[in-house]
Amino acid sequence: MIIEIKDDFDLQKIADSGQCFRFNKCADGYSAVAEDKYLFIKELGEGKYELSCSEDEYENFWKQYFDMDTSYRDIRALIDESEDEYLYRASEFGQGIRILRQDPWEMLISFIISQRKNIPAIKASIEKICALAGHKIAVDAEGNDVYSFPTPEELSKLTVAQLSGCSLGYRDKYVHQATLDVVSGAVDLESWKEIDDDALMQKLLALYGVGVKVANCEILFGYHRLDAFPKDVWINKVLDAQYPQGFLFGKYKPYNGVMQQYLFFYSRSNGL
């Protein structure tokens, strides 16, 4: 099917923004894998895109995934060029980034894995886990088999040794424990959608292998709470270099997480 998008939307920027690990350039378009769904999407020009899914699947899944009901143009308009020149430049540069609505379970495991790893290494580990514990759902535009992200039950069938075999290193035991917690019902990620930000943070920090950075990534990308502001080494460099008087968190509330994405993407692309 073909859709037309008026708001900010840039496939390459979304793929490179660091919020998703299964969204990659593929043939003459991009492949996106989320949970047990695969999408091939190709830009046609003039805001038009060709999608490999049915209209029904778009309406019921991908439309939400791409957060089509939120205007990122309006969020960018909160930035005042004269007041915050660096963020303004970053937002112009990053125009097209959106915060995807991804699954809390998939994001939790992905960001536990992410610690002290670079993005290619994170992606490689996740693909190994999917191939080992998920199931085949499609063949992508380059002819490669595509595997679903394993459900908690599927992932719980892997031993710590098998997880370790996915290049998780010392994170193997974190992933294993999180999986057991979810499968046992001790952790109910779905019900956490109802609790407030502070309570959610406390719940996440109680998980083995989850600290402040990973928890904030889960809150922003897994629960789509756009005010969460993960601080990694890149963001800390930006805050130190560009915001000695402090970032204007009060001004951008409740969209600080979107601003974080612009800062992250800009700093990574420019070494600033």
Partner DNA sequence: AGGCAGGTTCTTA
Partner DNA sequence: TAAGAACCTGCC
- By beta-carbon proximity to DNA, the closer residue of 20 and 138 is 20
| Shortest CB 139 distance to DNA, Å | 25
The secondary structure of residue 24, as a DSSP letter, is E
Site for DNA in 227-246 (CB under 7 A): 230, 232-234
| Shortest CB 51 distance to DNA, Å | 24
18 lies in the binding site for DNA (CB under 7 A): yes
- Which stretch, 46-54, 100-108, 137-145, 206-214, contacts DNA (CB under 7 A)? 206-214
Q: Considering only residues 120, 244, 250, 271, which one is a binding residue for DNA as defined by CB under 7 A?
A: 120
- By beta-carbon proximity to DNA, the closer residue of 149 and 265 is 265
169 lies in the binding site for DNA (CB under 7 A): yes
Return the sign of the alpha-carbon dihedral for residues 235, 69, 199, 18: negative
d(CA 75, CA 255): 7
259 lies in the binding site for DNA (CB under 7 A): no
Q: Is 171 exposed, middle or buried (0-12, 13-18, 19+ CB in 10 A)?
A: buried
Phi then psi dihedrals of residue 53, to 5 deg: -90, 170
212 lies in the binding site for DNA (CB under 7 A): yes
| Shortest CB 165 distance to DNA, Å | 8
202 lies in the binding site for DNA (CB under 7 A): no
Phi then psi dihedrals of residue 7, to 5 deg: -85, 175
Site for DNA in 43-102 (CB under 7 A): none
CB 175, CB 144: distance < 8 Å:
no
Query: DSSP E strands: which ranges in 12-168?
Result: 23-26, 29-34, 37-45, 48-51, 136-139, 145-147
d(CA 137, CA 31): 13
- By beta-carbon proximity to DNA, the closer residue of 18 and 150 is 18
Binding footprint of DNA on the chain (CB under 7 A):
17-19, 114-121, 164, 167, 169-171, 207-215, 217, 230, 232-234, 264
